[in-house]
Amino acid sequence: MNRFALTRGLGAAAPTGSRRGRVRSVIGLAAAGAVLFTMSGCASSGGSGGGADSLTVGFAQVGAESAWRTANTKDIQESFKTADIPLKFSDAQGKQENQIKAIRSYIQQKVDVIAFSPVVESGWDTVLNEAKDADIPVVLTDRSVDSSDDSLYKSFLGSDFVAEGEKAGEWAKTEFADATAVNVVELQGTTGAAPANDRAKGFRTAIEGDSKFKIIASQTGDFTRAGGKQVMEAFLKSNPKIDLLYAHNDDMGLGAIEAIEAAGLKPGVDIKIVTVDAVHDGMQALADGKINFIVECSPLLGGQLVDIVKKVAAGETVDKRIVTEETTFTQDQAKAALPDRKY
């Protein structure tokens, strides 16, 4: 099923006159109308409710590819509910074209603020210019865009993915300090996504100059458990000696663990594993000794997003870049942290 799902929030219409001078292109309107038509039953605006001064926000999510994403969606929806701000929520099922349609529908519905987590980095200028022409502020959460025009969004809230990759690489250097040769395989995130590009880059920056590290295979597992398992199976078949797996998220690492065990090897021992995210199942595998190190990436962005949205809607200036604070976990640290872990 390829149609993207859109769940309407409580749906108070934007106050009239709140965005004077709005200009919308005929093409933009037609496209948005077509999208609304396909979302039968979800098209009409209006309704009751209305939180903080009748603010309405549209959020275009990537999909539900990982435990990280599920936790992120839950946190955002709960945070807006707590703040009593109606949230229109759409799930793009990992497809940029669905996300663009959702953003156009939010423009057409005249929401006060649009927030979204871009599936991939490139290709956003056209739709972001449509939002700008409609005088609707945009906030990026979690992932960024590679546009050179930073007037197309008010703020970008999320992690420093390059730093995450560097932390994974720095750990590998310490872990393999006494080794003479280290064969690395890499499970990359979704092709073209900011965390895939940046985590690959950060890791390479950390290990370059240390010639014993060789990335012998690198392929996308699309941030999913199934993808990680499938690609790891192929890696194991074509590479007789793998010392280290670097997976761009826990879910792919967990899928790879299944492949490694099926091949009769011990994850965490025969093949060392470093991943990113620190979701519950990843932390459990770390505590169980099947993963060796996890770089944290927090999905709990909802509270900060609510604050930014309120400020932006009130016309206040916000920081262009807000970086999420995060840590790293060893196996012992995972054991200690697990009981209080929120996701």
DSSP-derived 3-state class of residue 190: coil
Gap between the Cα atoms of 198 and 204, Å rounded: 10
Which is closer to ligand GYE, CB of 136 or CB of 245?
245
**Which among 169, 158, 121 is positioned nearest to 297, based on CA atoms?**
158
* Nearest distance, CB of residue 90 and ligand GYE, angstroms: 17
DSSP line for 32-99: HHHHHHHSTTS-----S---GGG--EEEEE--S-SHHHHHHHHHHHHHHHHTT--EEEEE-TT-HHHH
For residue 193, what are the CA distances in angstroms to 44, 220, 232, 247? 33, 11, 20, 15
* Nearest distance, CB of residue 44 and ligand GYE, angstroms: 32
Among 45, 56, 66, 331, binds ligand GYE (CB under 6 A): 66
Among 8, 69, 104, 110, binds ligand GYE (CB under 6 A): 69
* Nearest distance, CB of residue 242 and ligand GYE, angstroms: 22
Number of residues lying near ligand GYE (CB under 6 A): 13
Dihedral-angle region of residue 191 (phi above 0 means left; psi in -120 to 50 means alpha; beta otherwise): beta
Q: Are 67 and 281 in contact (CB under 8 A)?
A: yes
Q: Name residues contacting ligand GYE, limited to 210-229 (CB under 6 A).
A: 223
CA-atom Rg of the chain in angstroms:
21
Which is closer to ligand GYE, CB of 64 or CB of 263?
64
Which is closer to ligand GYE, CB of 62 or CB of 306?
62
Q: Name residues contacting ligand GYE, limited to 128-147 (CB under 6 A).
A: 142-143
Q: Name residues contacting ligand GYE, limited to 89-108 (CB under 6 A).
A: none
Among 168, 297, 301, 308, binds ligand GYE (CB under 6 A): 297
Among 68, 89, 124, 329, binds ligand GYE (CB under 6 A): 68
Q: Name residues contacting ligand GYE, limited to 182-211 (CB under 6 A).
A: 195
> Which one-letter amino acid corresponds to residue 26?
V
Q: Does 73 sit near ligand GYE (CB under 6 A)? A: no
DSSP-derived 3-state class of residue 195: helix
Q: Which stretch binds ligand GYE (CB under 6 A): 12-20, 33-41, 65-73, 107-115?
A: 65-73
Query: Which parts of 176-249 fold into alpha helices (H)?
Result: 194-207, 225-238
Among 51, 58, 65, 110, binds ligand GYE (CB under 6 A): 65
Residues within the interface to ligand GYE (CB under 6 A): 65-66, 68-69, 142-143, 195, 223, 249, 251, 276-277, 297
